[in-house]
Structure 1
């Protein structure tokens, strides 16, 4: 099994967030570290602090040396795909080729309403997402990119300098929609992340992904399958470790351990030791 950590950039300080990632960087059992792309906290006081995803991600890439870095996941509705492609290329350079490019269609109505960002109807949102992923791949892989979609258009467009990783940073698509999300994973992703309550609910989704891959002639084993396991501060660490083990037995490749909100760097070493027998 493989493991990662995820921190919540809500109700915390930059210094605490940075120090947790630096601590995780010292333990090889954690192959990657993640946070989220929201502008408001998702728990507690909605008016509380929440650090912006990509500026902190670039800084965290500079603060660490080994661990891969990613956002789980970037809402496509928040940034034009061409802008996001340039951000991704730059962050991959800053990290010396450690970026995981996490993307999703977006969903948070509260944030979009507050900021005047249009949350398109579901079908259009996924149509825009599909075009956006293709446009980003074109910008990240081609010297001069052209794309003529219904919503996204590129005309002799440049994204320079290119990312360190080739052909582009691995794309993580997050979500569990069987028709649109999992089909997009099969077409374009190197990593699929989903949040589900149990391995029993994960297995049917994996079967859907396998079918989509078969339909397009792709080997599903090319795609890392990950889930999130939440560590509750008021429960023994053993409970989260047992949950991770159950997902591993179900066939999950990578378990992302979601650290408690008030996690300090000191939580990282006990977690690494507790997971070591499963690695």
Structure 2
């Protein structure tokens, strides 16, 4: 099994989050570090602080040297795919080739309503997502990109300089929708991330992904399957570790340990020691 951490940029400070990532960089058991792409907190006071995802991600890439970095996951509705492709290429350069490009269709009605950002109906949202991912791949891999979709159009478009990683930074697609999301994972992703209640919910979703890959002629083994495990500060750490172990037995490749809000670097050493027997 492999492990990662995820910090929540809500109700915390830049200095605190940076310190956790810098410390995690020193623990080899953590292969990557993630945070989210939201503008409001998801818990507690919705008017409280929440750091923006991609500006902090670029800064965290500069502050670290080994650990892979990613946003879990970027809402496609928030940024034009061409803008996001350029952001990804630049962040990959800043990190020296350590970016994980996490993307999803987006869902947060509270944020979109507050900011006047369109949140299309579900079908259109996923149509836009499919086009957006395809357009980003074109920009990240082709010298001159052209794309003529219903929602996304590129005309002799450039994305320079290119990312360090070739053909492009690995794409992580987040979500569990069996028809659209998992089909998109089978088409485009190098990693699939999902938040579920436990292995009993994850296992049938994995089979859906296998079926989509079979239809597309793709080896599902090319896709890292990752899940999130939340560490509850009010419960023993062993509970989260036991759940991680259960996911590993079910066939999950990577478990992302979600740290409590406002964590300090001190949480990492006991976590690393507890996970070591599973690695």
TM-score, L = length of structure 2 = 1.00
Question: Which residue is 2:237 aligned to?
Answer: 237
Cα deviation for residue 262 of structure 1 reads: 2.2
Q: Matches of residues 1-279 of structure 1 in structure 2 within 5 Å?
A: 1-279=1-279
Residues paired across the two proteins, number: 279
The CA distance in 1 between the partners of 2:165 and 2:273, in whole Å, is 31
Residues 75-134 of structure 1, C-alpha deviation per residue, up to 9 Å, x if partnerless? 000000000000000000000000000000000000000000000000000000000000
Unaligned 5+ runs, structure 2:
none
The CA distance in 2 between the partners of 1:188 and 1:228, in whole Å, is 21
Unaligned 5+ runs, structure 1:
none
The CA distance in 1 between the partners of 2:111 and 2:190, in whole Å, is 28
The CA distance in 2 between the partners of 1:65 and 1:112, in whole Å, is 34
The CA distance in 1 between the partners of 2:157 and 2:198, in whole Å, is 44
Q: Which runs of 4+ in 1 moved over 4 A?
A: none
Cα deviation for residue 200 of structure 1 reads: 0.4
The CA distance in 1 between the partners of 2:116 and 2:263, in whole Å, is 33
The CA distance in 1 between the partners of 2:152 and 2:65, in whole Å, is 35
The CA distance in 1 between the partners of 2:165 and 2:140, in whole Å, is 10
1:234 counterpart SS class: coil
Residues 236-272 of structure 1, C-alpha deviation per residue, up to 9 Å, x if partnerless? 1101000000000000000000000121101011100
Cα deviation for residue 234 of structure 1 reads: 1.0
Residues 46-78 of structure 1, C-alpha deviation per residue, up to 9 Å, x if partnerless? 000000000000000000000000000000000
Alignment RMSD: 0.3
1:179 counterpart SS class: coil
Cα deviation for residue 4 of structure 1 reads: 0.1
